[in-house]
Amino acid sequence: MIRILYLGQKPIGEKCFSLLVREEIALCCAGSNTGNAAWWKSDRVRQEASALGIPFVDNADRHEDRLLEHIENLGIHCIISVQHPWILSKRLLDAVDNFAFNLHCAPLPEYQGYNVCNHAILNGETTFASTIHWMAPAVDAGDAAFVESFPVDATDTAWSLHGKAQAAGLRAFGRLAASLAQGRTPPRTALSGSPRFYSRQSIVPLRRVVHPEDALELDRKARAFWFPPFEPAYIMAGGRKFHVIPADADRNLLP
C-alpha cells in the first residue's frame, strides 16, 4: 500500500485530507497550520491527524529536516500537496523519487501563482480548470496528471469562480486518490501553452476602475474583485474612494 505525506491547508486542503482518510489510504504524516488565526479559521488537518495518531508538522516554518526524517523513518514514498504555503525543495522531492503531486485550482501553465480567479475574470476567460500536477521544485510546475475543466459564466465573480474551481479541484483530487488507492500510477502529460506567473501583489494596482464610464471595465473589475473579505474594486471621485460591487453579488458575503 502506498504511504503518503500530506501537506495541505485552507478549506480545500482540509476537504482533500478528509477524502484521503475516507479512501483508507495509508496517511503516514501530515503538515498543516495550527490554530484558527488564519482567514479560514480552522486547523482541521491537525485535528484529524491528531485523532488518527498521525505525526504532524506545523507548516508555519520550513521544517524540511523534520519532513525528511518522517519520510525515511516511516517509509513514505509519495507526497501530496494542497495549498501548501512553501515550495518543496529538490531534496524533499528526491526523497520520494519525485512521486509527488500538487493540486492547483487553475489551468496550467497559463495561471501559475496567486489570485488566479481574479485574473481569469479580468482576462475575460470563458473556460477555466483545476489541475493535479506532478511536482517540480518550482511554483506550479510539472506535468499534468488530472485536469477538470468548466465554463466561466458572464456573471461569474472571482468568488463564484473560486467556488467552481474548488469543486473541480475536488473532482480532480478524487481521481488522484482513486488512482493511488488502486495502485495505479497517475498519468502524466507535458504542459502546453504559454506559462504565466501571477504574484501575490499582482492584483493590487488593478483594483482601481480607471474609466468608470467604460461599461466593460466597470463590469469586469466589479466581478474580478468581488471576493470577501478582501477589498472590492473601487473608483476615485473628489479625492474619495467608492467601492464597486456587482448588482447580483451575494450580499450575505459582505465583509
Flag whether 87 is in a domain: yes
The residue among 83 and 137 whose pLDDT is bigger is: 83
Flag whether 135 is in a domain: no
Q: How many domains does the chain have?
A: 2
What average pLDDT does the structure give for the chain?
94
- Cβ-proximal residues to 100 (8 Å cutoff; 6+ apart), any chain: 78, 79, 80, 81, 88, 93, 134, 135
Per-residue pLDDT band for 37 (boundaries 50, 70, 90) equals confident
State residue 254's pLDDT score.
Answer: 47
Segments forming the whole domain that contains residue 31: 1-98
Average pLDDT of span 7-33: 94
Flag whether 124 is in a domain: no
Last residue of a domain, which of 43, 69, 98?
98
Instruction: Give me the percent of the chain exceeding a pLDDT of 90.
Output: 88
Flag whether 147 is in a domain: no
Say which amino acid occupies 230.
F
**pLDDT over 80 (residue 239):** yes
Flag whether 165 is in a domain: no
Q: Which residues of 192-205 are buried (b: 16+ CB within 10 A; e: fewer)?
A: eeeeeebeeeebee
Specify which residues 146 forms β-bridges with: 132
Last residue of a domain, which of 51, 76, 98?
98
Flag whether 123 is in a domain: no
Last residue of a domain, which of 98, 131, 148?
98
State residue 24's pLDDT score.
Answer: 79
Residue 82: which CATH number?
3.40.50.170
Average pLDDT of span 37-44: 91
Flag whether 63 is in a domain: yes
Flag whether 66 is in a domain: yes
